[in-house]
Structures are given as structure tokens and as C-alpha cells.
């Protein structure tokens, strides 16, 4: 049997979830034995080169490019996992959800206390730049997500255990602390 | 300004537990609660700024920015909409040139939506500068705005004659109608004020509690807890002071019978409170009255004054040495959850109306941590009649489990909306016969949004604690209504708005369910959405109070009783649809950047 193939991406996240994945330390060698990585910032593969078994998504969906990437993942991965608070709920970036987009952009580029050298009062708008969505969406509101892995970030152990369980088909025991309310 | 605020604070002896009264008085006299006023309050009461702000921000009728010189609070609950609230709102907006949810640029007029104001039998209704306007029409809306533009007093804006009964009392002068359609022993004008008090002074507190227990009366506020037992717990609880609260928050959309009891039989209530005080050993009573009923304030204050003069309140009541009991009114400021007894107590202590963890229950540790009884208006009024006529007499009405009578609030698609006092044991069909339906009835909402929406095959079910328990509201929904859109969605919006936010399932899941419903209404739903909504319902049991435990009922009870309405609206050819609409998600961005594609 060929090795299962994994892809990962960070959408509107802080890369903390990826850092947590790297925190599995030397077990990364075991993981490398178990799986093959495809598109991922970890190996810098930019485009899917084959169909994958598992896609790990960090971060929610805040702009048009995120939508594109997420849909690409959905098409190319058998199982999609929302990893971490941002992917599951929108997380910190979603704090802007109650503020109209225009106000957010004006605060960021025109009126914020740290704005300098923008005499022409320009809000960046290059064709190359993705368009910002009206709010930050959790991934499962944009595509079907199969598994949610809670935490901010989920601990290295949990990510590792989850991956191993997925690959080996063993049941994953999520500790109560990982999903208790408040 | 500072002087005004200081004198208001002084009026309440710089007592931080009276923060609600202080804020209400400031809001009423200054039109809003300014940052400077908050400074003064936090200094004088020795509270932090955020402590004051968090209380202010909790309540619908407080504002930290200036409101208008005139403020229209239009009810947009389900029944108001059935009766044409949207059309009236449109005229208000057109004529005024400003929108609901904002104050006009010249600061003249603020217009806001508000949830049910207890006038479901005379909708569309609004509160304008504290006065209630009922049965609004497009024509009336036009008149009102032109009167406002002409700078008239609100009193001058009334055109109809005052309502029936005490509604036309000099101290009320309101167009509100009682619409009493059926009278029983609790609404009956018979029985002289004070007769029950004269009786109890010859009895011991235990004998009174025994009589109440014998009657088998259960709480009329919705939860149905046996009243005698509650009193006994409170009597036995250790405490140097005890309190009697009358719950007159009446926030459940569709319920208005307490308003009628307060208007027509306030003495019966005061008598019931004094009886409770005597029975459990409390000397202070507090009526927690919803802000929407502030138009009754002067009238009720006067009834209380008269009661003191007649020696039915105050010291040595009915000349009985040591029988002291007095009552004051505590206003809320617009928050449904404050009807929940522990939230009500928090609010009366001047805090955010967030329910407490229980146990301890209020009967052990309630107001100011002292043993406290919270009873509904109707419960306390009924007790007066139980003492007058005996527990045995009371049991002769109704059924074995549900003794006595129930005062019902009936509204919606029927000929005679209003208040009906009926013996427990009526079927829904009996009520429908009584109120006169117009055409086919599609559904009846029993017990308000937190209750159940039942279909015709259940109309022969019996109202009572054995079967269909209800705090007393019935909303009749005709065939012509879009049940899911007009009623269920409106109720879900209500719970989303009114959740206090303490418990995650209540705060989040009610939003998730509401959004799923919206998705289904847009035609994007799939079978999995229905399955999810059914499967996830148990999570709500973990919530702290009844609001969260019932917040999904509008969806869950219609999902059970009207599955065909949901099934007709879901997509049959798809197993999954996330419901995402990229065009609406990018609308703002297109506008801001001027780009047209992505
Ligand atoms: C969200 C919520 C709102 C409530 N609103 C009211 C109300 O407006 N009036 C009322 O009497 N009881 C209301 N209750 C019930 C009270 O918590 C309490 O059970 C009742 O006042 C006790 O009085 P009773 O035993 O005489 O019914 C509400 C409960 C909840 C959970
Ligand atoms: S969940 Fe936490 S760690 Fe992961 S991307 Fe979001 S903020 Fe970063
Ligand atoms: S259930 Fe809802 S309303 Fe009740 S305490 Fe929890 S969050 Fe507040």
C-alpha cells in the first residue's frame, strides 16, 4: 500500500497551528515514515501534484483567495480537517465581523494611529490583491469539512494523535479539556 | 447636569443596589446616560466605570448616546407583524425621513424596534415617550409623525377615547383596552379589599401555608412550581430578613394577562403579597415591573398609598401587632431574561440581569442573599382568593393536577383576542370555539415562543400541567401565514437577541439554528440540516436557565409537528450545501474597490 498523502494550508490564521504541527519534534521523522506530504508551506510545494488523502486547514476564510484555496483543497483531498479555532469558528480575525468592512479598511489604511505616509489616502486596491469578504467565515460554511480539531492551537500531541488515528483507523480520544465550554 | 445626577443618586441614598432606579431616572430626565453621568455614578457609588457600563449596556431602554426628543418603540414581534406592523413601520420611516434603529440627524426623533410590549390583543402597538399607542394604522402613523413635526405633546397625540375600566383612570389615561372576555374568580370584581387580610390575622403562618398547599395551586409564571411548597421552603430558610417579589416582568411574547390584572385588580395582588409576607415572615415586598408598563406607575403608586392609608400595608396591618409589610415598585429596563427569577433578583440589585447558578435557590439565598419568594402576578392574586374562599373551594375548579383557573392571553388570527379566565381542563379546541376563529387555523402557539407550536391534530389536547402546560398565552396562527418565516424565524430572532450570553450553547447554538432556518428559507437547505437540528438539540440542556433550555423550541416543535413545511423547502437532489453565497460576501468589497470580478 502506498503512503497516505497529506496537504496543509494556512488561510486566515497566524501559522500557529502549523507551528504546533512542527512541535511534534522528533516524531516528525515517524510521520515522514508514515505519510507523504504534498502541497504545504512545510515543504513549499505550491500546487497540488496529485490527489491527497487528508487536507489540514488552518485559519478561517477572510478573502476571495482563501475561498479559491479552500475549494481547491476540497477537490483534491478526500478528508478535510479544520484545524484550530480560526478554521472552526473564525477565531481572532472574526473579531472584525461586527464592524463594517469599510470602517475596517479605513482604520487600517487611513485613520489608524500607526498610519504614516499615506497623504493620498489610498486603500490598496491592486488587481493582484484578493478581495476582502464582508466577514470572516469558518471553513465549514464555505465547503464541507469532515473533521474539526479544536484548540488554539490544538496541541502537538493532539495533531499527531489525530493524524495517526486517521491513517491507522484507530479511534481518537479527545480529552474533555479540549472542547469544554468557557 | 452633574447636579441633577448627584441629586438622583442622593435620592437613592447612594445605594449601589438601587443602580437600576438611578439609571432609569437619569435616562428619563436627561434623555440618555452620558459618559459624564457615568463618571459621577461610579464616583458616588464607588463602582468602577465598566461596572456601571455593563449594567447600562444590558438593557434595551438605556442608551449611552442621546436619543431623540421623541422616541418611538414599535413592537415587531410575530403577532405585531401579523397585524400589519411592517406597513406601519414603512409609513413611519417615509414620513419621518429616518430609519428604525437610529435617531434623526436633527435629534428630534428616534425610532426603534422592540420585542412584545404586552399588547398583542391590540397590535400594531408602540410606546412613544412612555405612552402606549395601540391599533396603529398607516393613517395614524402619518398623523403621529406630523404631530411630532409640529412639536405637540405626546398627550395631545391621542385621538381615540381612553380604554375601558381603569385605563381611563386619571392616573393612567391610556388608550389600552383590557379586552376581558371571560371572568372567573381571579378577575372577578367581587370580594372586598382586605377581607383576606382580616382572615389571616387570626391564623398562624403555618395554617396559611397549609391552606395554600391544600389548594394545590402551582405557579402561574410558566414553571408551575407548587406555591405552598415554595412558601414553606422560604419560611423554613434561616434569615433575619426575607423578601417577597412579585414577578410582573411579563416578557414572554404573546402574554399580557398580568397587565390586565395589574390594571383592574391591583389590590388583590397587594393583598396576596402581604399574605405571603405574613406566611413566610417577610416585611418587604417588591413588584418587579417591566419598563413597558411604566404608564401604570402613578396609578399603582397611588393604589399602594391608599393601601397604606387603609392599613392594608405598612405597620401593624389590620391592627395586628407586628404584622408589618410594605411594597415598592422596581422597574426593569427591557430584557426578557429578567423574568427569570434569579435574573430578576440580580437586576433588582442593580446589576446585569444574568441568571444565577442554582442551587442555592432564591428561597434560600435570593435578594441581597436573603430568603426570597418570587411569584407571578396571577399566582399572588389567586392566593388572595384562596384565602377568601378556602383551598377546598379552589380545588373544586380545574383538574386534579391543575387546580383552579388560568387567566389566558389569546391573540393572533381570531375574532376576539383578549383575556379569558378559564378553568384548567379546557382543550385547545374549546378555546378556539370561545375566541372565534377566522377561517382555517394552521397552528396554535401554546405558552409563547418558549412553549410549543401545535398542529390541528393536537387541538383536542387538554391545557394543564398533566398535558399542555402554559404560562397562559395562546397565539392563533391562520392558514394564510408562512409559519416558518413569519412566526418561527421571528421567535428565533427574539431568543438570539435576548440570550444573556453567559452559556455557550445558548449564545451560539441559537444563532446557528436561526441561520440554518434562514438557509432553508432561502432554498439552500438539505436533509442534513434537518438531521443536524434534530441531533444537536440535547446540547441546550447544559444551559443555565430556562431561556437557553427552551430557545430552540420554535424550531424543534415545528420540526416535529410540521415536518412537511421543512421538507417542502429543502433541496432533494443534494446531500450537502454549505449555503455560502460568494456574491453577497463580496458585495461590500466590490463597492469599496470598484472592482467587478474576483
Ligand atoms: C427566560 C424566562 C423568562 C421568564 N419570564 C417570566 C415572567 O415574565 N413572569 C413570570 O411570572 N415568570 C417568568 N419566568 C418564570 C420565573 O423564573 C419564575 O418561575 C416565576 O416567576 C415563579 O413564579 P410562580 O411560581 O408564581 O410562577 C420566566 C422564566 C424564564 C426562564
Ligand atoms: S487557531 Fe490559534 S494558533 Fe491556529 S491559526 Fe488561529 S490563532 Fe493561530
Ligand atoms: S441559558 Fe441563555 S439566557 Fe440563560 S443564563 Fe445561559 S446564556 Fe443566559
User: What's residue B446's pLDDT?
Assistant: 96
User: Which of A105, A125, A144 is the closest to B578 by Cβ?
Assistant: A144
**Ligand 2 atom 2, closest CA:** A152
Domain hosting residue A44, numbered range: 5-96+134-179
Beta strand spans in chain A (E): 5-10, 36-37, 52-58, 61-63, 77-83, 132-137, 147-149
- The answer to whether position A90 is within a domain reads yes
Q: Is there a contact between B112 and B104 (Cβ–Cβ < 8 Å)?
A: no
Q: Is there a contact between B293 and B118 (Cβ–Cβ < 8 Å)?
A: yes
Name the closest ligand to CA B505.
3
Contacts of B503 in chain A (CB under 8 A): 181
- Same domain, yes or no, for B372 and B279? yes
A119 touches chain B (CB under 8 A): no
- The answer to whether position B224 is within a domain reads yes
- The answer to whether position A55 is within a domain reads yes
- Same domain, yes or no, for B236 and B381? yes
Check residue A178 and report its DSSP letter. Answer: G
Domain hosting residue B234, numbered range: 182-395
Return the C-alpha cell found at B134.
Answer: 395601540
Check residue B291 and report its DSSP letter. Answer: G
CA-based nearest distance A132→chain B, Å: 6
- The answer to whether position B578 is within a domain reads no
Report CA(B346)–ligand 2 centroid distance (Å).
37
- Same domain, yes or no, for B248 and B337? yes
Residue owning grid cell 470572516: A136
- The answer to whether position A119 is within a domain reads no
| B292 Cβ below 6 A of ligand 1 | no
- The CATH number that applies at residue B386 is 3.40.50.11540
A114 touches chain B (CB under 8 A): no
Rg (CA), chain B: 24
In angstroms, the CA B269 to CA B88 distance is 36
- Same domain, yes or no, for B74 and B91? yes
Contacts of A132 in chain B (CB under 8 A): 589
A173 — pLDDT class (breaks 50, 70, 90): confident
Query: Which of A59, A62, A82, A179 to mutate to test ligand 2, by most ligand atoms within 8 A of the CB atom?
Result: A59
Q: How many other C-beta atoms lie within 10 A of the C-beta of residue B522?
A: 11
In angstroms, the CA A181 to CA A173 distance is 18
- The answer to whether position B136 is within a domain reads yes
- The answer to whether position A77 is within a domain reads yes
- Same domain, yes or no, for B18 and B117? no
Q: Is there a contact between B285 and B327 (Cβ–Cβ < 8 Å)?
A: yes
Report CA(B174)–ligand 3 centroid distance (Å).
35
- Same domain, yes or no, for B155 and B218? no
Atom of ligand 3 nearest to the CA of B548: 1
| B500 Cβ below 6 A of ligand 3 | yes
| Torsion sign, CA atoms B516, B522, B525, B530 | positive
Q: How far is CA B232 from CA B208, B280, B371, B380, in A?
A: 10, 7, 11, 15
- Same domain, yes or no, for B426 and B278? no
Q: Cβ of B587 and A142 within 8 Å?
A: no
Check residue B467 and report its DSSP letter. Answer: S
User: What's residue A32's pLDDT?
Assistant: 87
Report CA(B504)–ligand 3 centroid distance (Å).
8
- The answer to whether position A102 is within a domain reads no
Is residue A177 scored above 90 in pLDDT? no
| Torsion sign, CA atoms B380, B382, B384, B386 | negative
Q: Cβ of B589 and A182 within 8 Å?
A: no
Is residue A182 scored above 60 in pLDDT? no
- Same domain, yes or no, for B298 and B272? yes
Q: Cβ of B589 and A133 within 8 Å?
A: yes
Helix spans in B474-541 (H): 489-498, 504, 510-521, 527-535
Q: Closest-CA residue in chain A for B583?
A: A133
- Same domain, yes or no, for B53 and B127? no
- The CATH number that applies at residue B473 is 3.10.20.600
User: What's residue B472's pLDDT?
Assistant: 86
In chain A, how many domains are there?
A: 1
In chain B, how many domains are there?
A: 5
A1 — pLDDT class (breaks 50, 70, 90): low
- The answer to whether position A104 is within a domain reads no
Report CA(A154)–ligand 2 centroid distance (Å).
8
- The answer to whether position B52 is within a domain reads yes
In chain B (598 residues long), the average pLDDT of successive 10-residue segments reads 93 97 96 96 96 97 96 97 97 97 96 97 97 97 96 90 95 96 94 94 97 97 94 97 98 97 98 98 98 98 98 97 98 97 98 95 97 98 98 95 96 97 94 91 96 96 88 93 98 98 94 96 96 94 94 98 98 92 93 86
Q: Is there a contact between B163 and B177 (Cβ–Cβ < 8 Å)?
A: yes
In angstroms, the CA A174 to CA A82 distance is 15
- The CATH number that applies at residue A76 is 3.40.50.700
- The answer to whether position B590 is within a domain reads no
- Same domain, yes or no, for B38 and B148? no
- The answer to whether position A27 is within a domain reads yes
A179 — pLDDT class (breaks 50, 70, 90): low
- The answer to whether position B171 is within a domain reads no
A104 touches chain B (CB under 8 A): no
- The CATH number that applies at residue B91 is 3.40.30.10
- Same domain, yes or no, for B226 and B244? yes
DSSP string, B117-180: -S-GGG-S-EEETTEEE-S--HHHHHHHHHHHHTT--TGGG--SPP-SGGGGSTTT-------E
- Same domain, yes or no, for B304 and B201? yes
Q: Cβ of A134 and B589 within 8 Å?
A: yes
**Helix crossing, B553-561 with B489-498: angle to 10°?**
160
Is residue A169 scored above 60 in pLDDT? yes
User: Which of A123, A131, A133 is the closest to B595 by Cβ?
Assistant: A131
- The answer to whether position A61 is within a domain reads yes
Collect contacts of A67-73 with beta carbons under 8 A, ≥24 apart. A67/A133, A67/A142, A67/B582, A69/A9, A69/A11, A70/A9, A70/A11, A70/A139, A70/A142, A70/A143, A71/A142, A71/A143, A72/A48, A73/A7, A73/A9, A73/A143
Return the C-alpha cell found at B151.
Answer: 412639536
Amino acid at each position: 500500500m502506498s503512503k497516505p498523502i497529506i496537504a496543509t494550508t494556512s488561510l486566515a490564521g497566524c501559522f500557529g497551528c502549523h507551528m504546533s504541527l512542527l512541535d511534534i519534534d522528533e516524531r516528525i521523522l515517524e510521520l515522514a515514515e508514515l505519510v507523504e506530504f504534498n502541497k504545504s508551506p512545510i515543504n513549499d510545494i505550491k500546487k497540488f501534484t496529485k490527489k491527497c488523502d487528508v487536507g489540514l486547514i488552518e485559519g478561517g476564510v477572510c478573502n476571495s483567495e482563501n475561498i479559491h484555496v479552500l475549494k481547491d483543497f476540497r477537490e483534491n483531498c478526500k478528508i478535510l480537517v479544520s484545524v484550530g479555532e480560526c478554521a472552526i469558528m473564525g477565531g481572532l480575525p472574526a473579531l472584525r465581523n461586527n464592524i463594517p468592512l469599510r470602517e475596517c479598511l479605513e482604520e487600517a489604511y487611513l485613520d489608524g494611529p500607526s498610519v504614516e505616509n499615506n497623504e493620498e489616502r489610498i486603500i490598496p486596491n491592486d488587481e493582484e490583491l484578493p478581495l476582502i469578504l464582508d466577514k470572516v467565515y469558518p471553513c465549514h460554511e464555505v465547503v464541507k469539512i469532515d473533521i474539526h480539531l479544536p484548540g488554539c492551537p490544538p496541541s502537538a500531541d493532539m495533531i499527531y494523535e489525530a493524524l495517526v488515528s486517521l491513517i491507522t483507523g484507530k479511534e481518537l480520544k479527545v480529552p474533555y479539556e479540549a472542547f469544554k465550554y468557557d | 447636569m452633574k447636579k441633577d445626577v448627584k441629586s438622583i443618586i442622593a435620592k437613592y441614598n447612594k445605594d449601589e443596589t438601587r443602580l437600576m432606579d438611578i439609571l432609569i431616572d437619569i435616562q428619563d430626565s436627561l434623555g440618555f446616560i452620558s459618559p459624564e453621568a457615568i463618571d459621577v455614578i461610579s464616583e458616588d457609588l464607588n463602582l468602577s466605570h465598566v461596572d456601571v457600563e455593563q449594567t447600562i449596556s444590558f438593557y434595551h431602554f438605556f442608551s449611552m448616546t442621546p436619543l431623540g426628543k421623541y422616541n418611538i418603540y414599535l413592537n415587531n414581534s410575530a403577532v405585531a407583524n401579523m397585524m400589519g406592523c411592517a406597513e406601519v413601520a414603512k409609513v413611519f420611516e417615509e414620513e419621518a425621513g429616518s430609519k428604525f434603529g437610529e435617531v434623526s440627524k436633527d435629534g428630534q426623533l428616534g425610532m426603534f424596534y422592540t420585542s412584545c410590549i404586552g399588547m398583542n390583543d391590540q397590535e400594531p402597538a408602540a410606546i412613544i415617550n412612555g405612552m402606549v399607542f395601540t391599533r396603529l394604522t398607516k393613517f395614524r402613523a402619518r398623523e403621529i409623525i406630523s404631530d411630532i413635526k409640529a412639536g405637540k405633546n405626546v398627550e395631545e397625540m391621542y385621538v381615540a377615547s381612553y380604554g375601558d375600566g381603569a385605563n381611563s383612570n386619571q392616573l393612567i389615561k391610556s388608550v389600552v383596552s383590557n379586552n376581558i372576555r371571560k371572568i372567573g374568580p381571579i378577575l372577578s370584581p367581587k370580594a372586598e379589599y382586605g377581607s383576606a387580610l382580616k382572615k389571616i390575622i387570626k391564623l398562624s403562618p403555618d395554617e396559611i401555608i397549609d391552606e395554600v398547599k391544600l389548594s394545590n395551586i402551582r405557579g402561574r409564571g410558566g414553571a408551575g412550581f407548587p406555591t405552598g411548597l415554595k412558601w414553606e421552603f422560604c419560611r423554613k430558610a434561616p434569615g433575619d430578613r426575607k423578601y417577597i417579589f412579585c414577578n410582573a416582568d411579563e416578557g414572554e411574547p404573546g402574554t399580557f394577562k398580568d397587565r390586565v390584572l395589574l390594571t383592574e385588580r391591583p389590590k388583590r395582588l397587594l393583598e396576596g403579597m402581604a399574605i405571603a409576607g405574613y406566611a413566610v415572615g417577610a416585611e418587604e415586598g417588591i413588584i418587579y415591573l417591566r419598563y413597558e408598563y411604566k404608564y401604570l406607575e402613578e396609578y399603582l403608586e397611588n393604589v399602594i398609598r391608599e393601601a397604606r392609608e387603609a392599613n392594608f400595608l405598612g405597620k401593624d396591618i389590620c391592627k395586628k401587632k407586628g404584622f408589618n409589610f410594605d411594597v415598592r415598585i422596581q422597574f426593569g429596563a427591557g430584557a426578557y431574561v429578567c423574568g427569570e427569577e434569579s435574573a430578576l433578583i440580580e437586576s433588582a440589585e442593580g446589576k446585569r440581569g444574568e441568571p444565577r447558578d442554582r442551587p442555592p435557590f432564591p428561597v434560600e439565598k435570593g435578594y441581597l442573599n436573603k430568603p426570597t419568594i418570587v411569584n407571578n402576578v396571577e399566582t399572588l392574586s389567586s392566593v388572595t382568593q384562596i384565602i377568601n374562599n378556602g383551598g377546598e373551594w379552589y380545588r373544586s375548579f380545574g383538574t386534579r393536577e391543575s387546580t383552579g383557573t388560568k387567566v389566558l392571553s389569546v391573540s393572533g388570527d381570531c375574532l376576539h383576542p383578549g383575556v379569558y379566565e378559564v378553568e384548567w381542563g379546557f382543550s385547545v379546541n374549546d378555546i378556539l370555539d370561545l375566541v372565534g376563529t377566522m377561517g382555517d387555523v394552521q397552528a396554535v402557539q401554546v405558552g409563547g415562543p418558549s412553549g410549543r407550536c401545535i398542529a390541528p391534530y393536537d387541538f383536542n389536547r387538554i391545557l394543564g400541567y398533566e398535558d399542555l402546560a402554559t404560562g397562559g398565552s395562546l397565539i392563533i396562527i391562520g392558514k394564510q401565514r408562512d409559519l416558518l418565516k413569519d412566526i418561527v424565524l421571528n421567535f428565533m430572532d427574539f431568543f438570539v437577541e435576548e440570550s444573556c450570553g453567559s452559556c455557550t450553547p445558548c449564545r451560539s447554538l441559537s444563532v446557528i439554528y436561526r441561520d440554518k432556518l434562514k438557509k432553508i428559507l432561502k432554498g439552500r437547505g438539505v436533509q442534513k440540516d434537518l438531521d443536524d437540528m434534530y441531533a444537536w438539540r440535547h446540547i441546550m440542556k447544559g444551559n443555565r436557565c430556562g431561556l437557553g433550555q427552551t430557545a430552540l423550541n420554535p424550531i424543534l416543535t415545528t420540526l416535529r409537528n410540521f415536518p412537511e413545511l421543512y421538507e417542502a423547502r429543502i433541496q432533494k437532489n443534494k446531500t450537502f450545501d454549505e449555503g455560502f453565497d460568494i456574491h453577497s460576501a463580496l458585495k461590500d468589497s466590490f463597492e469599496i474597490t470598484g472592482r467587478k470580478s474576483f
